[in-house]
Structure 1
């Protein structure tokens, strides 16, 4: 597998971790999910992220999940989330993942970081721990991690650490941040950097116009992300926005705090991609009323995008 570089672009699906109803890792659903991402044309897959329930896995399980995705990914690049409270666990997972063929790793800040010096110092230590030979993606997600990166801090992290080749941009509001970072590149104060965006794709339409290279998020219809990224790059603005707008109500519903992953897994199960919508405990679930609301939203999306035309009840085989 080729290593991650600053030229990475397109759509990297954030993969959930499939579980059986009793909490065991579901290897067959991992394979089916990976095959699905490849078949629809994803450029890469990011595993063991926040929506991948990584903190609920033991160290050996994390390696098992990462290696399973990597082995199945074929031509897709796999980025492995290695964030951990301690650097020993981070290094162990990073080295094991790269040895298995991962393209790179993703590192998020500790939620306790506050000052700019603390933030930049932390990532310098993290890079020293995992090794400067491993390309990595910086995760900027203040809504969940409560750590604020200014554009200047991001620039310093990237310039101080040559192995940082990608930013996962998930600030909100964050459109001006993308414009500022691209401005740094134009004036020569920031080296080339891949910028992929998250936040459940809530602002993907305008993020692409501000200079993002693509999407790295986990919406239940990654085909839409692929199409919006492509249409935006082709300059087909209205077509990109029309498709995005059709999915936006479901995107919004999936972005609800606490139950968002339950909604996403529910739809992926309805699509026959994963066998169970179960999360490992502690986890959330959605009520029968919520499921009916999702069905209604799917029926509305299907008016524009037939890929959302799903039967009220469906599950993965085998």
Structure 2
């Protein structure tokens, strides 16, 4: 399942702060019908860190049910290893095809602690695991040596690299990890370059809301990505999550308060900018 476009939808909330189940199912169904290669529920775009265990288990079941047979990967990150394992079991029971794990922490982690986290979790899994390298949120930066060490664990099937520098890093990592481990990229504006450099899969924020635009980048590369530069500029300025959540609200695909507090949708001039870019992209 770790090829092509892996689209990461929002986990929209309603005005009461509960999971907006209808909106979630609609978003996932749109992705499946567009022909994405896999779906990543409860990633950073899916606000996994803000949800309870029960909410996350429910989202996992809804996403798998709405995906129409498209493989679904479920994010399982949490601060404590035992809680990660609980989320992993919930994801597997929901029918997840894979799970994704970032080394979430409050205290800074050492390399040995991160390796131990993945060793403990993979020992409990019956589905493949994707290593989520996301220093922007975890404040933990994987070295290539640590990636190679973790990739040697049974059950590790993919690495999700941060976008900046991913094109160069893909080539550096390829000889260090088993051939069975896919190397993928996040950071949407960097995806075309990383795919051109040999990355196997793009884990996409924009693909979770605009799958057709993202699939065009998978097919065409740089020219299709360049057409989305106004959107990438918004991502750089405001963050991809707030931009896509605001866009989803403007398009009627999610409500006006679809992010978990304290996160908020863009308003004022920023919201007007998003609306203008959407019009420009058709």
Q: Tell me the TM-score normalised to structure 2 length.
A: 0.91
| Runs of 4+ with deviation above 6 angstroms | none
* Distance in 2 of aligned mates of 1:208 and 1:22: 40
CA distance in structure 1 between the aligned counterparts of 2:65 and 2:40, rounded to whole angstroms? 14
Q: How does 1:46-85 map to 2 (within 5 A)?
A: 46-85=40-79
The 1-side partners of 2:117 and 2:90 are apart by 22
Q: In the alignment, is residue 272 of structure 1 matched against residue 252 of structure 2? A: yes
Return the match for 1:215 from 189, 194, 202. Answer: 202
Q: Retained in 2: the 8 A contact 1:107–1:136?
A: yes
Provide the C-alpha distance between the structure 2 equivalents of 1:122 and 1:91, rounded to a whole number of angstroms: 10
Q: Which structure has the larger Rg?
A: 1
Question: 1:158-169 maps to which residues of 2 (within 5 A)?
Answer: 158-159=151-152, 161-169=153-161
C-alpha distance in structure 2 between counterparts of 1:15 and 1:293, whole Å: 22
Q: Secondary structure in 2 aligned to 1:147? A: coil
Gaps of 5+ in 1: 232-239, 303-308, 310-318
Query: How far apart, in 1, do the equivalents of 2:138 and 2:267 lie?
Result: 27
CA distance in 2, matches of 1:143, 1:262: 15
Say whether residues 1:246 and 2:192 are aligned partners: no
Match of 1:182 among 174, 178, 187: 174
Query: Is 2:137 aligned against 1:144?
Result: yes
Q: Which residue of 1 aligns with 2:213?
A: 224
The Cα shift of 1:212 comes to 0.8
Superposed displacement of residue 11, structure 1: 0.9
Q: Contact between 2:49 and 2:77, CA under 8 Å: does it hold in 1?
A: no
CA shift at 1:269, angstroms? 2.6
Provide TM-score, normalisation by structure 1: 0.82
How many pairs does the alignment contain?
A: 279
- Show the counterpart of 2:263: 283
Contact 2:163-2:191 within 8 A present in 1 as well: no
1:191 pairs with 179, 185, 204, which one?
179
Q: Residue 143 and residue 153 in structure 1: after superposition, are their counterparts in 2 closer, same or farther (change >3 A)?
A: same
| CA–CA distance in structure 2, aligned partners of residues 91 and 211 of structure 1 | 32
Tell me by how many angstroms 1:113 deviates: 4.5
Q: 1:182–1:211: 8 Å Cα contact kept in structure 2?
A: no
Deviations 1:165-202 (A, max 9, x none): 011111533322111112436xxxx3321122112x12
**Structure 2 residues without counterparts, runs of 5 or longer:** none
